[in-house]
Chains A and B, each alone.
Chain A
Amino acid sequence: MLDRTSPPVYNAIERFNLIKPEHITFANGMEVFVFNAGEQDLVRIEWIFGNVFTEEKQALLNTCACEMLLEGTSSYSSTKIAETVDFHGAFLVPEFGYDRSALSLFTLNKHLAHLLPLAKAVLSDSVFPENELATYTRNSKQKLQVALEKNSFVARRQFNNAVFGQTRYGHVFEIADYDKITREALLALFRQQYTPSNCTLIISGKVTDDVVASLERLFGDDWTDDNKSAPADIAPDFGGHEGRVIVAERKDSLQSAIRLGCLSLQRHHEDFPGMQVVNTLLGGYFGSRLMANIREDKGYTYSIGSGLASLKHRAFFTIASEVGVDMTTATLTEIEREIRLLRDEKVSEEELALVKNYMLGSMLGSLENVFSHADKFKSAYFSGLDLDYYEYYTGVVRNIDADEIHRLANAYLDYDRMVKVVVGRMI
């Protein structure tokens, strides 16, 4: 008779085989990392540039410069760029982040010869035509207008601003700020930021020697830096806004967007992996305490979660949810209770074992294909670490005990000192 009540025997996750990249430095100083694996004849090429801020409130300018990369060069019009990319079934995607701006090319290898010269023109010779800027500005203003009607969007902006002040990470821009963007400012920023010495090149997929050679020709030998050193990136004063409570009442809302959190540890801090365990326990997976309590026991929300984000100059911890307006206060009370519980009581062996296995399984699952190996590398590399970090990380996850969880929760999670943002109704 089949025993359906006891779970099958399971195996611990022992090994992770991380793909180590081949490291090349091009003649112009560009650092290149190659991940060659996989069966399909395709590649992902990422040109990653550190964001240059001449002033902190300029984050919107950086966003525009990145998002307008495909709007024209001296040799390719915006139309020509779009046609070339689309005709070859490729994806060429600019992406702006807190610390870096990237251009990613996804393509079948057979089309590379048509696409690399285009990518080169975009990165070395974008001209930001006036008419394209006008179109971009008009459409972005409309998009922002729609986004501002979403409580979750407003809550995230207010939260970042409360934690980071009027800096690159927290600056809140308004619709009218788009009108202040000028072509001259975009060009000046472009020349400073999109340079070979400020670029890291990550190539993953079926990367043949030919692929590397053509990239080296175009982006290494044939691309020189005007100003050899990117301007020093000095961390701004992020200020301190502990414990602030911000409520934006929106009387017609059915749900309140809730965000709370605080500054936290960066990846290179020795307690970072341990704090990731604490975060996972509290709100980092479906079975987390916040989900189990606030969704699965009380039914206040469709989803609640927490996360730990490590940026270049700071890191933050955040809890986010959208809850029925009537349950707003009750949700905050439950969040407070769950944080206190982590600080006051030691986690059971059973729960801790589950979280550890879950995290190791999800680490294994995040190494599914060659792109995900490259992503793992990037997280470490841009935190000033190498792949050995993952040895340390998995070691901490395997060995952490209830006392250490207790210590970390008390050292780094304090509800009273967290910023709390509610957009909706405080009922």
Chain B
Amino acid sequence: MVTFNRFTLTNGLRVLVHEDPATPMAVVNILYDVGARDEDPNQTGFAHLFEHLMFGGSVHVPNYDLPLQRVGGENNAFTNNDITNYYITLPSANLETAFWLESDRMLSLAFSEKSLEIQRNVVCEEFKQRYLDRPYGDMWLRLRPLAYKVHPYRWATIGKELAHIEDAKIQDVKAFFEKHYTPGNAIMVVAGDVTTNRVKQLAEKWFSPIPSRGKYVRKLPAEPRQQEARREVVHADVPLNSLHIAFHGSARSDDPYHAMDLISDMLSQGQSSRLYRRLVKEMQLFSEINAYQVGGLDPNLFVVEGKPSPQVSIETAEEAIWTELEALKNETVEEYELHKVKNRVESTMVFSELAILDKAMNLAYFELLGDANELNSEAKRYLGVSAADIQQQANTLFRKENSSTLIYIANKHAG
């Protein structure tokens, strides 16, 4: 159970407070409701580049990091296809420093040309390090556009190509800020050794003077229903062949989400899971295998991927995966197995209550979904999934005409 208090400032900023006096620290987590899905198709990677620029100085504070480190704090941020999330951890005695820093960059950035130039380079190096210069690093750069033809999930958060980042201009940065970095588009969660009264007082002082600047209304094109199996085969300098199958699944807020999530656990969570047990251990067709749902807010991908063992053909490997997926479609899952994945959900949720940062991020995310209270009924939703729900969801997901298959064929077979 994660308790909280909630209030909204007149400019639209939503504030949640979770009091946990067991720690000497405080967390300030600000979620901006903007991600790569909100980008112009010709300027992809921009939301993430922008996240880097948020550390390049704001209107009254030339350097963001130094004053925070000076009071014993740390910060970081991440961007994904849906959201951009910034967080600070600091000794609770110095909470006000976080309010000062975060409110100034919500008010306005410094928009420094030098910062833009440097961060373009830094992000290009990140692009190379994570997506280009390692085997299979470009998997998402290939799989997304294969699975999505219309919806902006067709590009990865890092962007479609280096050129989009290299071409970013300071006026684009300003326009992006004006459009998305408004109080009404943000959710702030303050957690740890804090009181709601103190947070209210600090929020009024630092955030209330920020003008509301209107609210961006998202209108994204819906992905049309996929009608045919899709396939891409890449011959690449990778050490081993590799197989990735993506299926269109439900959105985060839709009912079948929890069944879909439990299916991924049945398939590959832990060494007793179906794919690991049968295809890696018993039949020895794969050296590694995994199934997961990507976790997007809009209709989402469910991915099954693995690396076949030496001497196992891609066809055999692919067929073996389909046999397991068909089993989920044709046979009702036993109560024992359903109980097993539900037990895992229960313990994972209790363990996530150990860290104030996890609690703060979860509260912000569920508030974005509609209501932070739902975090506390999440376990109940998983427990409510029945064997029939699992079978029905498996039948919806695992159809050839709902699949996009990406195959890497290794140019040289070593070993």
Contacts and interface: CB of A to CB of B under 8 A. Distances in A.
Given A90-B347, A287-B65, A357-B71, A143 B288 contact: yes
Nearest to A327: B125
B94 interface: yes
Given A90-B347, A365-B74, A300 B125 contact: yes
Contacts of A175: 415
Interface string A83-96: 10111111000000
Interface string B1-30: 000000000000000000000111100000
B348 interface: yes
Given A142-B310, A362-B74, A301 B91 contact: no
B41 interface: no
Interface in B336-393: 336, 339-340, 343-348, 350-351, 353-356
A141 B288 CA distance: 12
A135 interface: yes
Given A10-B97, A85-B272, A302-B126, A150 B69 contact: no
Nearest to B127: A302
A252 B236 CA distance: 13
Contacts of A342: none
B129 A322 contact: yes
A89 B128 CA distance: 38
A87 B280 CA distance: 20
A7 B239 contact: no
Interface residues of A, number: 76
B214 interface: no
Interface in A108-148: 108, 111, 135, 138-139, 141-143, 145-146, 148
Nearest to B72: A361
Interface stretch (A37-45, A60-68, A306-314): A37-45
Contacts of B287: 138-139, 142-143
Interface in A15-49: 17, 38-42
Contacts of B351: 40, 42, 106
A354 interface: yes
A90 B345 CA distance: 10
A364 B72 contact: yes
A86 B72 contact: no
Contact of B269 (A86, A138, A360, A364): A86
Contacts of A40: 350-351, 353-354
B333 to A, nearest CB: 14
B240 A8 contact: no
A280 to B, nearest CB: 10
B119 A145 contact: no
Contacts of A296: 118, 122
Interface in B85-107: 89-91, 93-94, 96-97, 99-100, 103-104, 107
Contacts of B121: 298-300
A360 B395 CA distance: 55
Contact of B125 (A7, A13, A41, A302): A302
Interface in B62-87: 65-67, 69-75
B272 A83 contact: yes
A361 B90 contact: yes
B415 A357 contact: no
Nearest to A132: B281
A358 B91 CA distance: 10
A5 interface: yes
B120 interface: yes
A285 to B, nearest CB: 7
Given A138-B284, A300-B121, A361-B72, A253 B25 contact: no
A249 to B, nearest CB: 15
Given A300-B125, A361-B73, A39 B67 contact: no
A254 to B, nearest CB: 4
A87 B340 contact: yes
B132 interface: yes
Contacts of B97: 7-8, 10
A150 B91 CA distance: 38
Contacts of A82: 270-272, 277
Interface string B294-315: 0000000000000101100000
Given A142-B288, A254-B128, A255-B129, A286 B69 contact: yes
B43 interface: no
Interface string A227-262: 000000000000000000000000011110000000
B125 A299 contact: yes
Contacts of A139: 280, 287-288, 309
B361 to A, nearest CB: 14
A11 B288 contact: no
B272 A299 contact: no
A143 B289 CA distance: 12
Contacts of A146: 135, 238-240, 307
8 contacts: A42-B354, A107-B347, A141-B415, A253-B133, A295-B122, A296-B118, A357-B71, A361-B74
Given A299-B117, A358-B73, 17 more contacts: A38-B22, A40-B353, A70-B271, A79-B272, A139-B280, A139-B288, A142-B310, A146-B239, A255-B133, A298-B121, A302-B126, A302-B130, A322-B125, A324-B125, A354-B70, A361-B91, A368-B25
Interface of B: 22-25, 59-61, 65-67, 69-75, 89-91, 93-94, 96-97, 99-100, 103-104, 107, 117-126, 128-130, 132-135, 205-206, 209, 237-240, 269-273, 277, 280-281, 284, 287-288, 307, 309-310, 336, 339-340, 343-348, 350-351, 353-356, 414-415
Interface of A: 2, 4-5, 7-11, 13, 17, 38-42, 70, 78-79, 81-83, 85-90, 106-108, 111, 135, 138-139, 141-143, 145-146, 148-151, 175, 252-255, 285-287, 295-302, 322-324, 353-355, 357-358, 360-362, 364-365, 367-369, 371
The 7 closest A-B pairs by CB, nearest first: A361-B72, A299-B121, A89-B347, A89-B343, A82-B271, A82-B272, A4-B60
